[in-house]
Amino acid sequence: MSEHWKIPASRALRADGLRVADIDTSAKPGFHGRKKDGEQLLSERSKVLAALQEKLYANGRSGDNRSVLLVLQGMDTAGKGGIVRHVIGSVDPQGVDHAAFGIPTAKEKRHHFLWRIRKALPRGGQLGVFDRSHYEDVLVVRVHGLVPEAIWEQRYAEINDFEQELTESGTTLVKVAMFVSLDEQKKRLRERLERPDKYWKFSPGDIDERAYWPAYQQAYQDLLDRTSTGHAPWYVLPADAKWYSRLAVTELLIEALEKLDLNWPPANFDPAAELRRLDTA
């Protein structure tokens, strides 16, 4: 905690009872200060995150099977890619298991929706990141009626069981739903169309999806109401300010890693004896 961030991010961003339609996407829960204070804090806290992640990785190398999995969901332009680049980008890439989930391939479609997800789970000691996830199967799939309601309806319970199994086997889930306003989304889409260095981020379908915002809001509401559990709660992240969303996710990850109470793994050799050997080598 610091003078600019005083309560745990997990408390400030907890989704319990929240109405998606009421989210103030420009709010900065947990943070007190100005943008420049936030940016300064982010640069300090990134170092704390990197040190904790190194400890997780070191323990993984010594057989610890615990891992942390950041699940990022959000409408187009919400900033999922920015979190991956700037938050996850501040830690040692060796210790990161990154997976992005787009439209399922023909092969993936032949399998249960969790099949491709299970294959991408982080190994022990890794910080996993899902850029989109199994939640697409109750979001885009539901909004566009890609499978019958009877199928997507049962997925909420399947997801809860799956995530319980995951947490019991040592994975801490940090589920973050990012929200930008429709106006902010328009601004970001416009930027992608006006700047050649951003064309690659644009898909024409992103504009069509804006018409479905009310249906997405309903789908996100049900997702929060039905899959925010004690073992795997959702965090709701107002994402109009990129610097804030990066700081908030950094805080959430630091908290998750601190809860693991990690120490440096003990040597499986005698350091003093090895030092003596080194002196004469």
Residue 103 binds ligand ATP (CB under 6 A): yes
Spatial contact of 60 and 67, defined as CB atoms under 8 Å apart: yes
Say if residues 162 and 130 touch (Cβ distance below 8 Å): no
Would you count residue 101 as binding ligand ATP (CB under 6 A)? yes
130: left (phi over 0), alpha (psi -120 to 50) or beta: beta
**Counting contacts by CB under 6 A, is residue 211 touching ligand ATP?**
no
Q: Are 130 and 99 in contact (CB under 8 A)?
A: yes
Q: Which pair of tokens denotes residue 160?
A: 């809860």
Binding residue (CB under 6 A) for ligand ATP from 100, 121, 207, 215: 100
Residue with smaller CB distance to ligand ATP, 102 or 230: 102
Residue nearest to ligand ATP (CB): 102
Among 141, 221, 142, CA closest to 177: 221
Span 25-54, contacts to ligand ATP by CB under 6 A: none
**Count of positions on this chain that bind ligand ATP (CB under 6 A):** 14
Contact between 136 and ligand ATP (CB under 6 A)? Answer: yes
Neighbours of 85 (CB within 10 A): 12
Q: For the CB of residue 32, give the shortest distance to ligand ATP in the complex, in Å.
A: 31
Give min distance, CB of 203 to ligand ATP, in A. 5
Segment near ligand ATP (CB under 6 A); pick from 13-21, 130-138, 171-179, 221-229: 130-138
Closest CA to 171 of 51, 264, 259: 259
3-state SS, residue 200: helix
**Residue 47 CB coordination number (10 Å):** 11
Q: Is 147 in the site for ligand ATP (CB under 6 A)?
A: no
Scan residues 188-207 and list those touching ligand ATP (CB under 6 A): 203
Q: Which residues are at the interface with ligand ATP (CB under 6 A)? A: 76, 81, 100-104, 132, 136-137, 140-141, 146, 203
